[in-house]
A and B are shown apart, each in its own frame.
Chain A
Amino acid sequence: MKKEGLTYSYKELMVVVLARDIKDGEVGHVGMAGGVPAAACMLAQRMHAPNLTTLVAGFVNPKPRALYPYGGDYRNFEGSEAIESGYQVFSYTEASLVDFMFYSGIQIDMYGNFNLTMTGSDVTRPQFRGPGLPNSGLAATAGRFYLYHEAHTKRNLVKRVDFISGTGNIDGPDGRRKLGIHTEGPRLCVTPRAVMDFDKATGRMRLKSVHEGVSLDEVVQNTGFELLMPKAVPVTPPPTDEELNVLRTELDTLGILR
């Protein structure tokens, strides 16, 4: 979806925001979802982080000719340098060998907990049964994780998730430490309207920037809880020509992010 007057789509902007936060030499895990997180890692590799290792559910450093809408599509793994088994996925999760992970959710809450499992109050009779997630452990053992959602509405950004599929800051600044989790947890939450980060003092989600063409009021009205506000709300820095060019000509050659 491209907003009128902009030269890029909000999905492309989400990719760029995430890519810029990744450091050279890190090891990142994309999960099964593909799309935005896969593009973020591959863009970072082609721009400032050539020594980034991208793990995609068993595949190491894939270099597909295009991004495909289906994360499990075998063509996404073309150009991989190694193929690991489920046991290796288990071991890098348990032994905390991954620097960052990406998660989305049917619900994401103000403390960065996310839910892919169910809504309602009774797990045996859910109002809505979600898809579940293969790897919840990296929310605790990866150095940090990024939350992203392709919609920014009160339905998916909620005060409290009905079910914690993956551990964010739980209920406050010490939520993770009290459970013996010593990794950073959620760092950013990126949506088609804005970028949020997390306040260290409260563990809560805070607005970081609003995308070009989106009003502050629109962000507030579409968030299901009170977002902490920074002193000033900048506009999310748009993609550079170089970033867009690499993204469109080397990665997303089918245009699934446009």
Chain B
Amino acid sequence: MKTARKSKVVSLSEAASLVKEGSSLAVGGYSMVRKPSAFIREVVKKRVGNLTLFSNISSYDTDLLVGAHLVKKAYLCHVTFEYLGLPPNYRRAAEAGEIQLVECDASLLVAGYLATIEGLAFHPVSSVKGNDIVKHMDLVRKFTSPDGEEMTAVSAIAPDVAVLHVPEADEYGNARHLGGILFDANIFAAARQVVICADKIVSVHVTESEPWCTTVPCYYVDAVVEAPFGAHPCACPPLYGHDEEHLMGYLGAARRTISGESPQAFAEYLEKYVYQPKSIYDYLELVGGVEKMEKLKKEGRA
């Protein structure tokens, strides 16, 4: 009996349900680029807590989850809003000792992912010598090589869920970054479940016409979500740039709450942009609608 191939397309809410209380979550993208922001807001909306967070280079994603008090432990190399400033909620929580931060470096995280990808219990790293990061990273293991050399390794890292945002994917989960994949390459292969959020779901014929553009092959992927402008307020090259105005508003709300100048400002931000919007379209209207999105498209272009 002939059976049709199964689509993996689900709603944002269904995909976010893969993240459970106490899950470990690996977030793709880097800096303010290609962050799965719509998915992160959905997790915050569901108030799923006690998360262990993994991200090489993060910004809004980490700061929002930490600001909503959903993160228990985090493996992060670099958290920054770059020229817009430091991540306020993350800084405050770290300085208050409210989250367990594990010092990290990209090589340590990649080695942990590689161990999983290669089916090993641990993976050696040779670059991280003499710094204090390696002294504090809790997955580091020392071992003696068969040649008698004292070496450093990292235990296998297999996050429960990895979430990536890409410009395009097809319904079966073939994802197209249309640009640099950077550390997304390691997390999708190491995680137990993979969610692909895409600005646009394209026909599988698009995938087939340019298979060399597929950066995540379908068999790694568990769920596909169509999330137009789903990286907003971060950028999704080559489609659109980051929304500086919105990010400044976000940072201002967090800073005013932390300084005590306006204790409710961040809660109001969450209420307005995270809890209240019924859909991503609702959210996009709130942040400026078509006019704003067209502006970000122009700005993101080289």
B120 at the A/B interface (Cβ < 8 Å)? no
Interface residue count on the B side (C-beta < 8 Å): 57
Most buried by A among B104, B105, B186: B105
Residues of B near A132 (CB, < 8 A) are 76-79, 103-104
On whether the beta carbons of B130 and A117 are closer than 8 Å, the reply is no
**Smallest CB gap from A90: residue in B:** B110
Residues of A that sit less than 8 Å from B by CB: 32, 57-59, 64-65, 69-75, 77-78, 83-87, 89-90, 93-94, 117-118, 123-141, 163-167, 170, 175-176, 179-181
Candidates A83, A86, A167; contact of B129 at CB < 8 Å: A167
On whether the beta carbons of A170 and B130 are closer than 8 Å, the reply is yes
B145 at the A/B interface (Cβ < 8 Å)? no
B292 at the A/B interface (Cβ < 8 Å)? no
On whether the beta carbons of A89 and B106 are closer than 8 Å, the reply is yes
Residues of B near A164 (CB, < 8 A) are 130-132
On whether the beta carbons of A180 and B241 are closer than 8 Å, the reply is no
B37 at the A/B interface (Cβ < 8 Å)? no
- Given contacts A132-B79, A134-B57, A176-B130, are A117 and B302 in contact (CB under 8 A)? no
* Known pairs A64-B302, A85-B180, A137-B125 / 15 extra A-B pairs, C-beta < 8 Å: A72-B32, A74-B179, A74-B237, A74-B238, A86-B183, A124-B100, A129-B95, A129-B101, A130-B86, A131-B86, A131-B87, A133-B78, A134-B105, A135-B107, A138-B127
Docked CA distance A7–B100 (Å): 49
CB distance from B134 to the nearest CB of A (A): 8
Candidates B87, B180, B242; contact of A59 at CB < 8 Å: B180
On whether the beta carbons of B133 and A117 are closer than 8 Å, the reply is yes
Residues of B near A138 (CB, < 8 A) are 127
B259 at the A/B interface (Cβ < 8 Å)? no
Residues of A near B87 (CB, < 8 A) are 131
CB distance from B202 to the nearest CB of A (A): 20
**Smallest CB gap from B187: residue in A:** A86
On whether the beta carbons of B83 and A131 are closer than 8 Å, the reply is no
Candidates A78, A89, A141; contact of B182 at CB < 8 Å: A89
Candidates B86, B100, B110, B128; contact of A136 at CB < 8 Å: B128
B184 at the A/B interface (Cβ < 8 Å)? yes
On whether the beta carbons of B78 and A74 are closer than 8 Å, the reply is no
Docked CA distance A57–B57 (Å): 11
Most buried by A among B30, B79, B180: B180
On whether the beta carbons of A140 and B127 are closer than 8 Å, the reply is yes
Please report which residues of chain B, range 119-163, place their CB below 8 angstroms from some CB of chain A when the two chains form the complex: 125-133, 136
CB distance from B214 to the nearest CB of A (A): 13
B277 at the A/B interface (Cβ < 8 Å)? no
Docked CA distance A134–B127 (Å): 13
**Smallest CB gap from B104: residue in A:** A132
